[in-house]
């Protein structure tokens, strides 16, 4: 077996090799840690690498597998965690100087679930400070660089998670998503990113940004890997007041059912306006491929999407300010200036504006529910633009300069407000070799259908 090749394998291939004892967890973890040591200085994806802890977990996993105890397909698999996710006795920084040496005294629920599944946590991944940014280049620990072009942003805020999976520094990673923070870096780094339905995955033990918009989800190399990760993560948690009680399901079960006879909805406005020309071409190719796979396309009108996008911004600014007010007041000099300034704009949101935004949320959920009476999934671009250079903040859209933060999450934010499941799926590269992804959005708690559509596309394009 060529060990260098193992790094390029997907999670399911590695899982099979571990369970058949062709590969040992200790060998695999050592190989991964060596890869991180070699590559991370350039990418800056990891803030903390858990050398001793990971090798100890690998030794335990190896002993269990040798005894015939297989906890799950994740048993012995190296996985990374966005550094907003609490790990007992292991520093959790939120990408901020304020929490540079913070040691939680408990694990987040998702960490408990991953450990129960036998996964090996290899480290904590860099993030835009407090997850409040879509570029991924503003962290106390420095910017994360895109593995496809280190001069470019990865997208944020789950910047380290996207870069680490794309660069084969772990086989899967957890991110968080408040306005696109899983899907934007997934798109820019060429990996699969799932923002599950609000309440599907527990947020207990994950540092909040905006409690009614925050989601936790997996980032992986392939669609099947992603579904396997969600199998381990999903479930009711009484410690999370937003957690939804749903029957357990296997998200891989319907992957191969295909899309013949299914209906894909394409919004006729908003998502296809002011779109980068290369992204537009890719979207046309994606639509064509789904037609070839037997799906029909229906153009639909979704009302008030601009209003929905603005309401998302109102809720985000208000709740983010409330979450961080104490640290803003008491630890003024310890912030990254851009993040602090952005957070302070939330002080200006008035109560009636926040309440109006919540009413818009209710109407939007009803509107999308009606749409899903006509179609199986919605297909849209993931971002309007390609990755910019690190620290670049202005982009020209329709002959007008706009701030990148208001542009990057334009297509991703609405599904945070509605809470609907939404995933980013890779669909190829630009002329400059940068990844492009598209979005699939579905009914609440219908992640299985999204995975099925994503898998059909992936198999048609990347596994011919």
pLDDT of 14 strictly over 70 = yes
Rounded to the nearest integer, the mean pLDDT of the chain is 96
Provide the pLDDT for residue 464.
Answer: 59
**pLDDT average, residue stretch 412-422:** 98
Domains contained in the chain, CATH given: 3-233 (3.90.1300.10), 256-311+336-462 (3.90.1300.10)
Cis peptide leading into 157, omega within 30 of 0? Answer: yes
Provide the pLDDT for residue 463.
Answer: 78
Rg of the Cα atoms in the chain: 21
231-264 per-position pLDDT tens digit: 999 999 999 999 999 999 999 999 999 999 999 9
126-170 per-position pLDDT tens digit: 999 999 999 999 999 999 999 999 999 999 999 999 999 999 999
Helix %, strand %, coil % of the chain (to 5): 40, 15, 40
Q: What is the DSSP letter of 200?
A: S
Instruction: Tell me how crowded residue 250 is: count the other CB atoms within 10 A of its CB.
Output: 12
The residues annotated as belonging to the active site are 82, 157, 181
| C-alpha span between 180 and 204 (Å, rounded) | 20
Q: CB–CB of 190/166 below 8 Å?
A: yes
**pLDDT average, residue stretch 396-416:** 90
Q: Is 437 helix (H, G, I), strand (E, B) or coil?
A: strand
Provide the pLDDT for residue 150.
Answer: 98
Q: CB–CB of 84/210 below 8 Å?
A: no
Provide the pLDDT for residue 396.
Answer: 85
pTM of the model: 0.97
Q: In Å, what is the CA distance from 364 to each residue of 102, 369, 383, 432, 457? A: 39, 8, 21, 37, 28
Q: Residue 152 forms beta bridges with which residues?
A: 389
pLDDT band, very low/low/confident/very high, at 189 (cuts 50, 70, 90): very high
- Burial (CB < 10 A; 0-12, 13-18, 19+), residue 227, is buried
| C-alpha span between 308 and 288 (Å, rounded) | 29
| C-alpha span between 340 and 133 (Å, rounded) | 11
| Listed residue (216, 88, 251, 228) closest to 172, CA to CA | 228
Residues 6+ apart with CB under 8 A from 288: none
50: its two tokens: 């858990």
pLDDT band, very low/low/confident/very high, at 274 (cuts 50, 70, 90): confident
Provide the pLDDT for residue 1.
Answer: 59
85-114 per-position pLDDT tens digit: 999 999 999 999 999 999 999 999 999 999
248: its two tokens: 């357990």
Provide the pLDDT for residue 65.
Answer: 97
CA 68 to chain CA centroid, nearest Å = 33
Residues 6+ apart with CB under 8 A from 10: 171, 220, 221, 222, 224, 225
Provide the pLDDT for residue 287.
Answer: 98
235: its two tokens: 């479930």
- Higher model confidence: residue 5 or residue 285? 285
Pairing of strands 172-177, 120-125: unpaired
Q: CB–CB of 283/438 below 8 Å?
A: yes
- Burial (CB < 10 A; 0-12, 13-18, 19+), residue 287, is middle
pLDDT of 2 strictly over 80 = no
């Amino acid at each position: 077996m060529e060990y260098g090749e193992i790094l390029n394998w997907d999670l399911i291939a590695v899982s099979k090799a571990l369970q058949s004892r062709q590969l040992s967890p200790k060998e695999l973890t050592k190989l991964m840690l060596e890869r991180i040591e070699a590559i991370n200085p350039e990418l800056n994806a990891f803030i903390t690498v858990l050398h001793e802890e990971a090798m100890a977990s690998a030794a335990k996993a190896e002993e269990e597998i040798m005894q015939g105890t297989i906890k799950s397909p994740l048993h012995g698999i190296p996985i990374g965690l966005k550094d907003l996710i609490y790990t007992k006795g292991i520093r959790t920084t939120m990408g901020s100087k304020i929490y540079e040496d913070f040691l939680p005294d408990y694990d987040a629920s998702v960490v408990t679930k991953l450990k129960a599944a036998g996964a090996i946590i290899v480290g904590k991944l860099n993030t835009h400070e407090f997850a409040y940014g879509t570029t991924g280049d503003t962290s106390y620990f420095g910017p994360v660089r895109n593995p496809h072009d280190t001069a470019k942003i990865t997208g944020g805020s789950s910047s380290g998670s996207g870069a680490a999976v794309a660069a084969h520094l772990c086989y899967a990673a957890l991110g968080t998503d408040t306005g696109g923070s899983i899907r934007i870096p997934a798109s820019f780094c060429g990996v699969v990113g799932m923002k599950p339905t609000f309440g599907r995955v527990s947020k207990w033990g994950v540092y909040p940004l905006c409690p009614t918009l925050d989601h936790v989800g997996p980032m992986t190399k392939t669609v099947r890997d992603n579904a396997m990760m969600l199998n381990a993560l999903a479930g009711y948690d009484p410690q999370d007041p937003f957690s939804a009680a749903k029957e357990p399901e296997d998200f891989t079960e319907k992957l191969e059912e295909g899309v013949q006879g299914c209906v894909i909805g394409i919004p006729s406005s908003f998502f296809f306006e002011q779109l980068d020309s290369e992204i537009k071409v890719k979207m046309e190719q994606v639509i064509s491929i789904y037609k070839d796979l037997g799906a029909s396309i229906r153009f639909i009108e979704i009302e008030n999407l601009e209003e929905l996008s603005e309401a998302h911004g109102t809720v985000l600014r208000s709740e983010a300010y409330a979450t961080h007010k104490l640290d803003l007041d008491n630890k003024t000099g310890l912030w990254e200036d851009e993040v602090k300034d952005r957070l302070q704009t939330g002080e200006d949101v008035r109560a009636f504006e926040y309440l109006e935004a919540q009413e818009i949320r209710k109407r939007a959920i009803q509107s999308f529910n009606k749409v899903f009476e006509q179609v199986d999934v919605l297909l849209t671009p993931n971002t309007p633009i390609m990755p910019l250079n690190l620290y670049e903040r202005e982009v020209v859209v329709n002959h007008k300069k706009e701030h990148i933060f208001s542009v990057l999450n334009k297509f991703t934010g609405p599904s945070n407000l509605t809470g609907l499941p939404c995933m980013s799926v890779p669909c190829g590269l630009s002329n400059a070799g940068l990844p492009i992804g598209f979005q699939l959005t579905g009914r609440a708690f219908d992640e299985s259908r999204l995975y099925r559509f994503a898998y059909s596309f992936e198999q048609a394009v990347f596994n011919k």
